[in-house]
Amino acid sequence: MRSRITRRVRIKTPDLNLVDRVKGHIDAIVTAAFQAIFPDRITIQYPRERRDVPDNFRGMIQFDINKCISCFQCSFVCPANAIMMRGAPDGRYYPCIDYTRCIFCHFCVDTCPRGALLRTKIHDVAFSSMEEMFATTEELIEPPEMLREDDTVIRYRIENGDLVLEKIEEIAELSTRPEIQVSPAKLSACAHPENCIACTLCYLTCPSNAISVKVVEGKRTFEIDPKLCTGCGLCVKECPTCTLTLIER
């Protein structure tokens, strides 16, 4: 193996006779002439044409407020600290995204237990100021505002090992359907019941009312309804004595 690497390779100028040379010239001219008549253009005329991107394209993020359970997972997972949870008049907290920080990793979308954050294929939005790049919850509900000039979609397909460019006259759909949750479903469970100090914080924080309190013989006991629990982990976070944990369903 070593000898193969160190072996000296000498490159010689190809020894072509006149026939080969003339053939080469003719070949080049014919190829060029063919391309001049039927060009295999690869240019995408961007504002007028738009390249088709897959559904899991990491573009700007859209937010569905009806699905959100205010679990804060998106804001915890964000590696760039771009998501801020802001209090709403209904007493719950909803995410705002600071696009000056966002690195479009879509960890928030992947981590959302209810699929409230949606991917879009929009990546070409212009902002006129830094302040405008802070998208509040209200702005996240609507897809970002942008100027569309495209009427053609560019798709690539592989044909006999060649990449073939296809132009389809249609207006590209840029929003995506919320995908089915692929991360393992979680469930809140009491891992260490002996730690519980019966502070009811878990009961108070649970957004889906899966935790119920019963007073039996002067003592509070808690019960988690697995049907209602979404595995959002809010109770686990709030528990001061690390009684609760998330287990896989």
Distances (CA, A) of 167 to 49, 146, 172: 9, 22, 12
Q: How far apart are CB 18 and other proteins at their closest, in Å? A: 11
Q: Return the number of the residue (23 or 86) whose C-beta is nearest other proteins.
A: 23
Residues 6+ apart with CB under 8 A from 2: none
Q: How far apart are CB 92 and other proteins at their closest, in Å? A: 50
Contact 61, 112 (CB under 8 A): no
Q: Which region, judged by CB under 8 A, interacts with other proteins, from 32-40, 156-164, 185-193, 217-225? A: 32-40
Q: Which region, judged by CB under 8 A, interacts with other proteins, from 27-35, 64-72, 149-157, 204-212? A: 27-35
What CA–CA distance (Å, rounded) separates 59 from 56?
9
Residue 16 near other proteins by CB under 8 A: no
Q: How far apart are CB 48 and other proteins at their closest, in Å? A: 10
The secondary structure of 139-158 as a DSSP string is HHHSPPP------EEEEEEE
Q: Return the number of the residue (43 or 128) whose C-beta is nearest other proteins.
A: 43
Residue 40 near other proteins by CB under 8 A: yes
**Single-letter amino acid, residue 28:** A
Among the listed residues 75, 78, 127, 120, the one whose alpha carbon sits nearest the alpha carbon of residue 100: 127
Q: How far apart are CB 157 and other proteins at their closest, in Å? A: 17
Contact 78, 108 (CB under 8 A): yes
Q: How far apart are CB 31 and other proteins at their closest, in Å? A: 8
Residue 182 near other proteins by CB under 8 A: no
Please state whether beta strands 49-51 and 152-159 pair in parallel, antiparallel, or not at all (unpaired).
parallel
Kindly determine how many residues on this chain lie close enough to bind other proteins according to the rule CB under 8 A.
12
Residue 171 near other proteins by CB under 8 A: no
Residue selected from 14, 39, 89, 91 as contacting other proteins according to rule CB under 8 A = 39
Tokens 């995408």, residue? 44
Residue 35 near other proteins by CB under 8 A: yes
Residue 185 near other proteins by CB under 8 A: no
Residue 41 near other proteins by CB under 8 A: yes
The secondary structure of 47-88 as a DSSP string is TTEEE---TT----EEE-TTT-----HHHHH-TT--EEEEE-
Write out the residues near other proteins by the rule CB under 8 A.
28-29, 32-33, 35-36, 39-43, 45
